[in-house]
Amino acid sequence: MRDDYRYIGLMIESLNGYGSKILTGISRYAHQKPNWRIAYFDREQKELADLVGGWQGDGIICSAVDARFTNAARSRNIPVINVTGRHVEPSMINITSDDRCVGVMAANFLLERGFESFGFLRRKETTRFATEREKGFTETLAAAGFKAESISIGSGGDHEVEQWLSTLPRPLAVLGATDRLASIVIEACWRLGLRVPEEVSVLGIGNFEQLCELCSPALSSVDLDMERRGYEAAECLDRIFQGEPVPTGSRLIPPAHVVERRSTQTFAFEDADVVAALRFIHGHAPESIKVTDVVKATSISRRSLEGRFNKLIGRTIHDEIWKAHFDLAKRLLSSSDLSLQTVAERSGFRTSSALVNLFRQRFGQTPKEYRISNRLLISSQPAETR
């Protein structure tokens, strides 16, 4: 019978990396609901409002928001979950990125690499997500004693970017409000003869894999955890179906992590031996390295290196080694279904028991608890015991 099922309409652009990830998250949740029936509608249809007006469904997840569409859904008491970050409607339930947190994460990532000169690139059109990303970025840099030079460009603003880059001191770190804008920076550097990442380090936002890998060099990017956005949108809809109160407004999804590729694989510190040590540590994060191994990668004594390293980085070499191990383990836990033993082997811990014990000591939670809180999985892996 019709009442045994829940009919959900999806109006999400799937021809970009972001939309496909949102759909993956929705799919993961829907697989837990055998009574859900999913209908996919092309968001580019001109008459979405008319479509909704005649559709016999129970709920909609969409990235196409306009007054006619939302009014048509409300008139039929069809709940709508909005997953676009470009247009946020206060009277709706919006699942979107915590864009200020995105800017903070990007700033901290670049600060840790020793940069003192920063730039931010956005479009001239006013968008909430770009404004919030810029605020998070510039405020974090200001708290550390630095200023970011921002530029807003229109369509065809490549020449503007070249002129802007030419005026900024190097080594320079640039954050693009999107991956596409970051790719424009890389192209402008190529035309100017500037080396990426040695002279200009470039970071994007969104982690649109196809675009990031097509850049030369490949573009590092902040992963917005779009799958989680889709999963939580479906979860919200399910709560409504169960009669639970779900407040309108925005639910903010924090970014997952920075996916580092070649465009940021450098350090801007002037001390060549400290830079060599950092490169060795992060390049060998999957291995069980020791301080003596790091010292051998430089041209100075252990005592000299430890003093200079601690002064510049604010951590000991030993602490930096463990930070690299833990950062890698966290990325693997949040972005894969790998078993704990495999995560341990790939992040320098060797055994799952060592990973569990050390992870709990450092973060106050087990790797499994971290994975659950940072990634929404339907895994084929056997359940972990810790």
Q: What is the pLDDT of residues 36-61, one digit of tens each?
A: 999 887 655 545 556 665 677 889 89
**Domains along the chain with CATH numbers:** 2-97+227-255 (3.40.50.2300), 99-225+259-264 (3.40.50.2300), 272-374 (1.10.10.60)
Question: What's the residue count for the chain?
Answer: 386
Q: pTM of the entire structure?
A: 0.86
Instruction: Report d(CA 253, CA 218) in Å as an integer.
Output: 26
Q: What is the pLDDT of residue 9?
A: 87
Spatial contact of 136 and 107, defined as CB atoms under 8 Å apart = yes
Tell me what percent of the residues of the chain surpass a pLDDT of 70: 90
Short-list 106, 152, 92, 95, CA closest to 127: 152
Short-list 25, 72, 17, CA closest to 50: 72
Instruction: Report d(CA 238, CA 235) in Å as an integer.
Output: 5
3-class secondary-structure state, position 123: strand
Q: What is the pLDDT of residue 383?
A: 34
- Runs of H (alpha helix) within 80-223: 99-111, 128-143, 158-167, 179-192, 209-214
Q: Which residue has tokens 């510039």?
A: 138
The partner residues of 82 in beta bridges, in order of sequence, read: 62, 94
Return the sign of the alpha-carbon dihedral for residues 17, 19, 25, 30.
negative
Q: State which amino acid sits at residue 266.
A: T
Spatial contact of 278 and 316, defined as CB atoms under 8 Å apart = no
Condensed to tens digits (0 to 9), the pLDDT of residues 232-275 reads 999 999 999 999 988 888 899 999 999 999 999 999 988 999 99
Instruction: Report d(CA 340, CA 344) in Å as an integer.
Output: 6
DSSP code string of 268-298: --S-HHHHHHHHHHHHTTTS---HHHHHHTS
Strand order in the sheet with 36-40: 36-40, 6-11, 59-62, 80-82, 93-97, 249-253
Q: What is the DSSP letter of 199?
A: T
Q: What is the pLDDT of residue 15?
A: 60
Q: What is the pLDDT of residue 260?
A: 92
What are the structure tokens assigned to 160, written together? Answer: 């503007």
Query: Residues near 166 by Cβ (< 8 Å), separated by ≥ 6?
Result: 192
Q: What is the pLDDT of residue 335?
A: 79
Tell me what percent of the residues of the chain surpass a pLDDT of 90: 69
Ranges of residues in the chain with a pLDDT under 50 are: 1, 46, 377-386
Q: What is the pLDDT of residue 44?
A: 53
Q: What is the pLDDT of residue 385?
A: 34
Q: What is the pLDDT of residue 53?
A: 59
Instruction: Report d(CA 31, CA 378) in Å as an integer.
Output: 9
